[in-house]
Chains A and B, each alone.
Chain A
Amino acid sequence: ETGVTQTPRHLVMGMTNKKSLKCEQHLGHNAMYWYKQSAKKPLELMFVYSLEERVENNSVPSRFSPECPNSSHLFLHLHTLQPEDSALYLCASRGYTGELFFGEGSRLTVL
């Protein structure tokens, strides 16, 4: 248990659906991240939020839309995804020492 909770753990969606991934942390951290992990590839940074402000968008397609309503919650809104977007999506929060704590991930399958 890292203190970072992601829901849902598994999600199957069609290419025309709209869904959202949720991440929650109660560690008192003020920076949160979305990473994408595809098979056979290193983790890719998608978005960074610091103090609820997006500070990094790593050339992610607009079909992925992040939202950070407060320092404890982070969402990733998904719409009109492609099959190649199927991956494990990981959320992390950063402690004051710079250590990152990850959630268990949301496994997304796009049909």
Chain B
Amino acid sequence: KQEVTQIPAALSVPEGENLVLNCSFTDSAIYNLQWFRQDPGKGLTSLLLIQSSQREQTSGRLNASLDKSSGRSTLYIAASQPGDSATYLCACMTTDSWGKLQFGAGTQVVVTP
């Protein structure tokens, strides 16, 4: 069974610093990996989707890498801002027919002004 782990569980950085969020997974047979952002009491907002054949994806200040052989993905957020404060979740999609996402517990990020 796929297990997804996110370290650290919480992170606090001053504004302007780069953020590095880690995600590891136990089964490398994934269809894709997705990073989400969740604000308190809200739903999940998709940030980046990396297909299993890709090594990285970029969107603005966000960059996510994928290394299937080592079972790891890293989300980089450049020049952090207070508005980046949220919980970040990574999720692996299984390769079975129905594409189930297995989630990590998330990293809670606080960016201080």
Instruction: Determine the distance from Cα of A43 to Cα of B2 in the docked complex, in whole angstroms.
Output: 14
Question: Which applies to chain A's interface (DSSP): helix, strand, loop or mixed?
Answer: strand
Interface size class of B (residues with CB under 8 A): 20 to 34
Also in contact, A41 and B105, with CB within 8 A (given A98-B31, A102-B43)? yes
Instruction: Determine the distance from Cα of A33 to Cα of B89 in the docked complex, in whole angstroms.
Output: 17
Query: Would you call A45 an interface residue if the criterion is a C-beta within 8 Å of the partner chain's C-beta atoms?
Result: yes
Query: Would you call B41 an interface residue if the criterion is a C-beta within 8 Å of the partner chain's C-beta atoms?
Result: yes
Question: Which applies to chain B's interface (DSSP): helix, strand, loop or mixed?
Answer: strand
Contact across chains for A31 and B43 when beta carbons are under 8 A apart: no
Apart from A98-B31, A102-B44, what are 17 other A-B pairs with CB-CB below 8 Å? Answer: A4-B43, A6-B43, A31-B98, A31-B99, A33-B101, A41-B105, A42-B105, A43-B103, A55-B98, A56-B98, A88-B41, A98-B49, A99-B34, A101-B46, A102-B36, A102-B43, A107-B41
Instruction: Determine the distance from Cα of A95 to Cα of B52 in the docked complex, in whole angstroms.
Output: 16
Residues of B contacting A6 in the complex (Cβ-Cβ under 8 angstroms): 43
The proximity string for A residues 1-40 relative to B, scoring 1 for CB distances below 8 Å and 0 otherwise, is 0101010000000000000000000000001010000000
Instruction: Determine the distance from Cα of A88 to Cα of B42 in the docked complex, in whole angstroms.
Output: 9
Contact across chains for B43 and A104 when beta carbons are under 8 A apart: yes
The listed residue (A42, A88, A94) touching B99 by CB distance below 8 A is A94
Instruction: Determine the distance from Cα of A24 to Cα of B45 in the docked complex, in whole angstroms.
Output: 17
Residues of B contacting A102 in the complex (Cβ-Cβ under 8 angstroms): 36, 43-46
Q: Which A residues are within 8 Å of any B CB, using their own CB?
A: 2, 4, 6, 31, 33, 41-43, 45, 48, 50, 55-56, 88, 90, 92, 94, 97-105, 107
Instruction: Determine the distance from Cα of A45 to Cα of B104 in the docked complex, in whole angstroms.
Output: 12
Residues of A contacting B63 in the complex (Cβ-Cβ under 8 angstroms): none
Contact across chains for B44 and A56 when beta carbons are under 8 A apart: no
Instruction: Determine the distance from Cα of A45 to Cα of B1 in the docked complex, in whole angstroms.
Output: 14
Q: List 26 A-B contacts (CB under 8 A).
A: A31-B98, A31-B99, A33-B101, A42-B105, A42-B106, A43-B89, A43-B103, A45-B102, A48-B99, A50-B98, A56-B98, A90-B44, A92-B44, A92-B101, A94-B99, A99-B34, A99-B46, A99-B49, A100-B101, A102-B43, A102-B44, A104-B42, A104-B43, A105-B42, A105-B43, A107-B41
